[in-house]
Amino acid sequence: MPQRARVRKTAIAKEPPAAAPRSALAVDSLGFSLLLAARVLAAVAGGHSLNEALLAIASEPPAAQAAARDVAYGVLRRYGRAEFILARLMNKPLSHAPTQALLHGALYRLDTRPDAPAMVVDQAVAAAGELAGGVFKGLVNGVLRNYLRQREALLARIADDDEAHFQHPRWWLSRLRRAYPEDWATIVAAGNSRPAMTLRVNARRTTRADYADRLAGAGIAAQALGNNALLLAKALPVGELPGFSDGLVSVQDFGAQRAAELLAPAARARVLDACAAPGGKTAHLLEAADVDLLALDIDERRMQRIGDNLERLGLAATLKVADCQDVAAWWDGRPFDAILADVPCTASGVVRRHPDIKHLRRESDVRRFAQTQAAILDALWPTLKAGGTLLYATCSVFGEENAGQIDAFLVRQPGAERISQEQLLPQKENDGFYYALLRKLA
């Protein structure tokens, strides 16, 4: 049995939003789920990621959390839609962010539950009674009932507004149209959809054929993809997956599984995973070959999760909390045979999985991330041995972070050659990723 992954702790994790006070609403009511979702959405509007915001409701009953997540994800995927509607029903947005977010959630439920409008409005008003001392109950009631009276006319006007119709920021749409004149609409539609749930079979513990049989025996339909992937017909909690706790499978997007296949380090190779969290690619590399792997990440909390997952999968690696750019702080001077540089990026290829990205990103972030990516490449390159390979990876569809980044790197580093590159666009089977495999010339 491989020894447990080793974690060195040297960083402090960011504090999540504070938990909300208890509510008088029934925990199984729509009003309660709308209230929880409003608090989550208000935290995202304040700059927190959706994952951070959801931590604030982690102590609530599981069913209430699931209902609130459904509303929050639904609202965030429909970027610009609620803002467009409310701008035509109110003179100005409310200064009280949770109540404004409650209106967004209620509009989402009115559109997705058109058979029960009166119930949705009543429950939204009840939720408003829990916010700001209830002073906005009348306003919430009036705005939502006014929406129901004008719904058909308002929805018809959405087609005239790019942001509300395509549910992406205007600057984002402009970039996609320029870069992908034939495919931009397909990319946008994929970004607004619910993501697929794909499994990666742990080849050290079972085969895909055997695991597919176990799924079939449990009544779970799945389609084989690539070498070790299974695309589920319907998403389900990981606790319902046969053998998940025993490390037979992991959840990983099919496009993300390309990283280990492209880098393909040889047995006993010394490998660096420079930006390892959340760790799916780390684990896949270890499942594919017996390698000496060092995984770095700057976030202690996320690094601990990698360690837990490796233990579940029966895998071993050295995990170190460190900034990969600060090479002197973590490198022992021994060169690596292979490096995975899964660099920070805008994550524009995974917005269906992380819809808060559409709300949190600004166009200036593209250049900011590009500068960080260039700095990481320049820092890691000296740690790669002559003849070794480095796989540059992003989950972005913006060229400045992808092929443009590698073009510039090859000018700076004449001792590097590009062996291959792939731009995966979001579709049913996978999210959007970019990969460039580089070799260090002797």
- For the cut 60, the answer to whether the pLDDT of residue 179 exceeds it is yes
Q: Tell me, what's the pLDDT at 19?
A: 59
> Which member of 275, 324, 345, 395 is catalytic?
395
Residue 18: band (very low, low, confident or very high) from pLDDT cuts 50, 70, 90: low
Q: Global pTM?
A: 0.92
Q: Which CATH architecture has domain 30-163?
A: Orthogonal Bundle (1.10)
The reply to whether 395 belongs to the active site is yes
Tens-place pLDDT, residues 420-432: 999 999 999 999 9
| pLDDT for residue 10 | 34
pLDDT digits (tens, 9 = 90+) for 257-299: 999 999 999 999 999 999 999 999 999 999 999 999 999 999 9
Measure CA of the first residue to CA of the last residue in the chain; give whole Å.
37
Architecture of domain 197-252 in this structure: 2-Layer Sandwich (3.30)
Residue 6: what pLDDT? 38
The predicted model gives 33-37 an average pLDDT of 98
- Mean pLDDT, the chain, as a whole number? 94
Give residue 83's pLDDT band: very low, low, confident or very high (50, 70, 90): very high
Q: What angle do CA 310, 314, 319 make, to 5 degrees?
A: 35
Q: Give the CATH number of domain 254-440.
A: 3.40.50.150
Task: Identify the bridge partners of residue 298 per DSSP, sorted by sequence position.
Answer: none
Share of the chain above pLDDT 90, in %: 93
- In this predicted structure, the answer to whether residue 140 has a pLDDT above a threshold of 90 is yes
Q: What pLDDT score was predicted for residue 394? A: 98
CB neighbour class for 218 (10 Å; exposed up to 12, middle 13-18, buried from 19): exposed
Q: What is the mean pLDDT of residues 57-72?
A: 96
Over residues 78-107, the mean pLDDT reads 96
pLDDT at 292: 98
Report pLDDT for 218: 97
Position 15 scores a pLDDT of 56
Domain spans, the chain:
30-163, 197-252, 254-440
Structure tokens at 85: 């509607």
